[in-house]
A and B are shown apart, each in its own frame.
Chain A
Amino acid sequence: MAESITTTAAPAPSGSRAAVATLKNTFQMQNWVLAGLFFAACFVFPLLPFVEGWMVFQGAFIIIYIMAAQGVSILTGYTGLVTVGHGAFLAIGAYTAALLMKYTGLSVIPGMIAGGLVSAVFGLALGLVFLRLAGAFMAIGTLGFAFFIGAIVNNVPIFEGRTGISLPPNTVFGFEIDDFGFYYVALVTLALTTLFVHSLIRSGVGRAFKALRDSDKAAESSGVNRLLYRTLAFSISAFITGVAGALNGLIVNYISAEVYGDIWYSVDLLVAAVVGGSAMLFGPFLGGFFVAMVPFYLEELADFAFILKGVALIAVLVLAPAGVAEVVARPVRAWRQRKLLEAGESPELADAPGPPTGGGS
Chain B
Amino acid sequence: MTHLRCEGITVRFGGVMACDNVSIEVPEGKIVGLIGPNGAGKTTLFNVLSRFQEYESGHITYRDQNVDRKKPHEMIRLGMARTFQNLNLFGEQSTLDNILIGAHRHLGNPLANMFSLPGARRNEAALVDKALAVADMLHLNHQLDKPVKSLSYGWRKRVELARALAADPEMILLDEPVAGCNDEAAAELEEIVRHVNRNLGVTMLLVEHDMSMVMKVCDYIYVINFGANLADGTPAEVQENADVIAAYLGEPTQ
Contacts and interface: CB of A to CB of B under 8 A. Distances in A.
Interface of A: 1-6, 8-13, 17, 20, 196, 199-200, 202-205, 207-208, 210-211, 214-215, 217-226, 228-229, 232, 236, 337, 340-341, 344-345, 349, 352-353, 355-361
B114 A217 contact: no
Interface in B50-98: 50, 52, 71-77, 79, 81-82, 84, 88-93, 97
B93 A221 contact: no
B99 to A, nearest CB: 10
Contacts of B137: 5, 9-10
B35 interface: no
B216 interface: no
Contacts of A236: 114
23 contacts: A2-B201, A4-B130, A5-B134, A5-B168, A6-B129, A6-B134, A203-B120, A204-B104, A207-B100, A214-B90, A218-B88, A220-B73, A221-B76, A223-B77, A344-B142, A349-B141, A353-B188, A356-B184, A357-B185, A358-B154, A358-B185, A359-B153, A361-B180
B163 interface: yes
B84 A2 contact: no
Contact of B200 (A5, A202, A217, A356): A5
Contacts of A355: 142, 152, 154-155
Nearest to B181: A358
Query: Closest 5 A-B residue pairs measured CB to CB?
Result: A358-B154, A356-B185, A6-B133, A356-B154, A223-B76
Contacts of A223: 73-74, 76-77, 104-105, 167
A12 B139 contact: no
B178 to A, nearest CB: 9
A361 B132 CA distance: 29
B116 A357 contact: no
A349 B115 contact: no
Interface of B: 50, 52, 71-77, 79, 81-82, 84, 88-93, 97, 100-102, 104-105, 107-108, 110, 113-116, 120, 124, 127, 129-130, 132-134, 136-137, 139, 141-142, 144-146, 152-158, 163, 165-170, 179-182, 184-185, 188, 196, 199-202
Contacts of B92: 214
Nearest to B152: A358
A360 B182 CA distance: 5
A196 B181 contact: no
Contacts of A208: 101, 104, 107, 110
A13 to B, nearest CB: 7
A345 to B, nearest CB: 6
A3 to B, nearest CB: 7
Contacts of A10: 136-137
Residue among A3, A232, A357, A361 facing the most chain B CB atoms (10 A cut-off): A357
A356 to B, nearest CB: 3
Given A2-B201, A205-B114, A358-B181, 14 more contacts: A2-B169, A5-B168, A13-B136, A204-B113, A221-B72, A221-B73, A223-B73, A224-B73, A225-B73, A353-B139, A356-B182, A357-B152, A358-B153, A360-B153
